Structure 1
Amino acid sequence: MNDVKAWRDTVSIPTYEVYDPEKYPVFIEKRVYQASSGAVYPHPVIEKISDEPVDKEWQVIYIENDYIKLMVIPALGGRIQMAWDKIRERHFVYYNHVIKPALVGLTGPWISGGIEFNWPQHHRPSTYDATDSYIEENKDGSVTVWVSELERMFRTKGMAGFTLHPDKAYLEIKGQLYNRTVHPQTFLWWANPAVAVNDHYQSVFPPDVNAVFDHGKRDVSEFPIAKGEYYKVDYAPGSDISQYKNIPVPTSYMAITSKY
């Protein structure tokens, strides 16, 4: 039986720093964000990113067994920045070697790569904020790295736990949410992994998925064979949009319904 270990470390990563946030976020609540409200109060909104990178020291947590090695950055929403397959010697999640935000997040900065954990809505208002972190050694020999936060919009608490087991070649992810208020609260909780693609990449949905839509149902298509216009591309008389090579423009699609 192999051991699982987790430890804290410091790594230097080229980073494009963010500028000071907008002082009055209440005045931008009328904006539309992915077909829904852009209100984020009391979060500030950042509207500018540096054009030049600096070498920045980040506090990280590594967790590793004989098969997998992960790097978690608690200061960036508790995201998994790096996931390494030790047997095949490859990154099984896309590893971004720089921290370079784009202004596409609900409160501004959002970065690609790794696995982003999103709640209570959209691409997480606090996706660029720090989380608390804790390393838990379990009785069965597994180790869990917990990241958690008290979010500001609805006063709820969200946690994600990343567990590696001895002799297991997979990552187990647990989500725990707490409503700390006296009122019912709605939420989303979802993970957003990034992968490096090529002409052989295919998106696989459950077999009962026959239609997809983009953010906010602004566009709808049959799936996997698109026969009409989607994202301003005419796929008639029919094209398999599950195949990455058949999609000529950046495109989003989500399953509408599935029993799975």
Structure 2
Amino acid sequence: MMERVLRGRISSPLPYGVLSDYDRADHTVQLPAIELANGQARALVLPSLGGRLWSLIDEASGRELVHRNPRLRWANFGLTDAWFAGGIEWNLGSTGHSTTSNLPVHAAVLDTPLGPVVRLWEWERTRDLVLQVDLWLSDARLMASTRVLNPDPEPKPLYYWTNIAVPETRGTRVLVPADTAWRTDYAGVLERVSVPFPDGEVDVSVPSASRYAADYFYEVGDQHGRLVAAVEPDGRGIAQTSTAALRGRKLFLWGNGPGGRRWQDWLGITGTRYLEIQAGVCPTQLEHDLLEGYASRTWTEAFAPLELDPSVVAADYGVAAQAARDAVHAATPPAWLAAQHDRWLHEVADLGPGELVHTGSGWGRVELALRGAPQLPGTPFPEVADESLPLLRFVETDDPTALDDIDPQRPTLPVVSDRWVARLSDAVERGAGWWARYALGTARHLRGDLDGAQAAYGRSAELQPTAMTLRGEALLAGDATTRDELYRRACALAPDDRRLAVERLVALLDAGRSEDVVAAVAGLPEAVREHGRTRMVLAEAMAALGQDAAALEVLERLEVPDLAEGDRTLAELWQRLCPGKPVPRPLDFRMSPGPGSDQT
């Protein structure tokens, strides 16, 4: 376990960028959707949002089996910031919500021996792995067969979890045949606990009984037909089971404390409640397995309605969990599921998808071209007219000047893998311009080669001054004065870049230059100045200057759209300004107790 915990951590989501320019206004939007229906179940997939399974209806009862959020509400919960709650998501990459959760994926509908199959696929760029998820219906079950392919000779860390959001009521019970779990919480503690009573009389199998948010990774060992289920007091619910490659099972609960309730309202609408049941390739989400070179890992999951006797649901946990296991295995026998997986793998997985019904990114095509590799039969990657196109032209023609077509006002984010570093280094030797040097600077910066990064950033700025190269130099600056001058120049080139402006403000605040923060905020464009994140930094600066009344005025009407998971800033700032007074509910996002907490 420790070997897996120490493997595979990433320090940056690059080459993906941060997605944080969302707001909390209500807008009517139209989204492409793909529906599967067979008279017993109906499923809805959102291919423009990572292929999220947004709805799963049991036709016999008319029940929605997953949490279908009434609103798309984003917050900073993902590896690239933006994340939204609801449905079933497919998380490949590294610990956290996937880099692709808000990006389009390729999708097609196939006619197969298993019936209609919705195929979703994309190239995950932090690991250079190919994710394929095939969805189909079997009676009342939604089936999901997944393949993760390593197209390269070197072994790579493998992280994958399926997250299933389900409605939570006061009586919802989560059942897994296990009596111990690894628990993590927002205080940073990992501990092995008994379930369902880790702390005295509180039964965590009823998530609403818990006070604070926590993850419970059940120790299911080598159980045959591993499963997790969520059921209501009337015995109805949903169960997930899978073939053996998905080893882990997890419960995430928000708890009934002020912070958990506030987050649930923030991520949906007031009064909506949900929890997550999950399954992954490792026992916990702190771990990364190893996927060997040119290897693939496959599994099949079944998501199905579950109905138990209400008296059993209310029984002793061990009795209830065993009843859930018996019911799931009767409806979806492990041997049957394994046979379905084998049939999918040999008869469906490599079928060509034919015409796409939705297009993802062009990066899969670029990466295959970089390797000189042929298309993959089941997951071909088309050319796409997105930010990847100049890189595709560069690789196809081996012409370094093709990179000069990249717009310096909206540059393609740097590619940072070892393959790209080698290719771009060669291109620079043959005359590639500002972008290749900017990309090399970023890649070296990421690897800790600070002198090399500084040299590349500097040469890029000489050829084409851009906000991003100046920002890179600011991050490397050894003193606060030089750093702020570089940030100031970067912001002058990109005055409407809110994230860049906030990064400058935070650097000033960290340097103890709170007066400069107040002055800098006053000079920002209105849209940047009035954003909640900017206002939060302003309130912190005012508090540091002893301007408590002004800071409190900002704080009392503050809404920060991109507030981060686990962020305690608002509550702690209130406690500094109003010691002894309860934190107002709109500001209380604390998901664990902490120093000075007034949560009881």
Higher relative contact order (CA closer than 8 Å, sequence separation 6+): 1
Matched, 1:244 2:189: no
SS in 2 for 1:43: coil
> Could you report, residue by residue, the CA deviation over 1:12-64 in whole angstroms, capped at 9, with x for unpaired residues?
xxxxxxxxxxxxxxxxxxxxxxxx54411111012342121221211110110
**Residue of 125, 145, 149 corresponding to 1:174:** 145
**Residue of 208, 211, 214 corresponding to 2:184:** 214
* Residues 60 and 144 (structure 1), Cα distance of their counterparts in 2 relative to 1, 3 Å cut: same
Q: Tell me what 1:131 maps to.
A: 105
SS in 2 for 1:245: helix
CA distance in 2, matches of 1:45, 1:58: 22
| Contact 1:225–1:238 under 8 Å retained in 2 | no
| Contact 2:185–2:214 under 8 Å retained in 1 | no
Q: Tell me what 1:194 maps to.
A: 165
TM-fit CA distance, 1:223: 2.4
| Contact 2:92–2:124 under 8 Å retained in 1 | no
| Contact 1:137–1:144 under 8 Å retained in 2 | yes
Relative to its length, the structure with more helix (as a share) is 2
Q: Which amino acid aligns with 1:246?
A: A
CA distance in 2, matches of 1:145, 1:225: 37
Q: Tell me what 1:86 maps to.
A: 59
Matched, 1:145 2:118: yes
Relative to its length, the structure with more strand (as a share) is 1
Q: Tell me what 1:24 maps to.
A: none
Identity level (%): 20
Segment drifting more, 211-220 vs 149-158: 211-220
| Contact 1:110–1:128 under 8 Å retained in 2 | yes
**Residue of 19, 22, 39 corresponding to 2:12:** 39
Q: Tell me what 2:30 maps to.
A: 57
TM-fit CA distance, 1:149: 0.2
TM-fit CA distance, 1:145: 0.3
CA distance in 2, matches of 1:190, 1:182: 24
CA distance in 1, matches of 2:133, 2:185: 25
- The runs of 5 or more residues in structure 2 that have no matched partner are 1-8, 224-600
CA distance in 1, matches of 2:185, 2:123: 26
| Contact 2:77–2:97 under 8 Å retained in 1 | no
Q: Which amino acid aligns with 1:203?
A: V
CA distance in 1, matches of 2:93, 2:206: 31
CA distance in 1, matches of 2:206, 2:127: 39
TM-fit CA distance, 1:66: 0.9
Matched, 1:119 2:92: yes
Given the two structures, how large is their TM-score scaled by the length of structure 1?
Answer: 0.76
List, as ranges, runs of 4+ consecutive aligned residues in structure 1 with deviation greater than 4 Å: none
TM-fit CA distance, 1:158: 0.4
TM-fit CA distance, 1:251: 2.4
Q: Tell me what 1:29 maps to.
A: none
* Residues 189 and 104 (structure 1), Cα distance of their counterparts in 2 relative to 1, 3 Å cut: same
The aligned runs of 1:215-234 (5 Å cut-off) are: 218-227=189-198
Q: How many residues align?
A: 213
* Residues 258 and 139 (structure 1), Cα distance of their counterparts in 2 relative to 1, 3 Å cut: closer
Q: Which amino acid aligns with 2:132?
A: M
CA distance in 2, matches of 1:225, 1:195: 19
The aligned runs of 1:104-115 (5 Å cut-off) are: 104-115=77-88
| Contact 1:213–1:256 under 8 Å retained in 2 | no
TM-fit CA distance, 1:219: 3.2
Q: Which amino acid aligns with 2:147?
A: Q
Question: Which structure would you say has the larger Rg?
Answer: 2
| Contact 2:129–2:148 under 8 Å retained in 1 | yes
CA distance in 2, matches of 1:114, 1:245: 20
Q: Which amino acid aligns with 1:244?
A: P
CA distance in 2, matches of 1:98, 1:244: 23
RMSD: 2.0
CA distance in 1, matches of 2:120, 2:84: 18
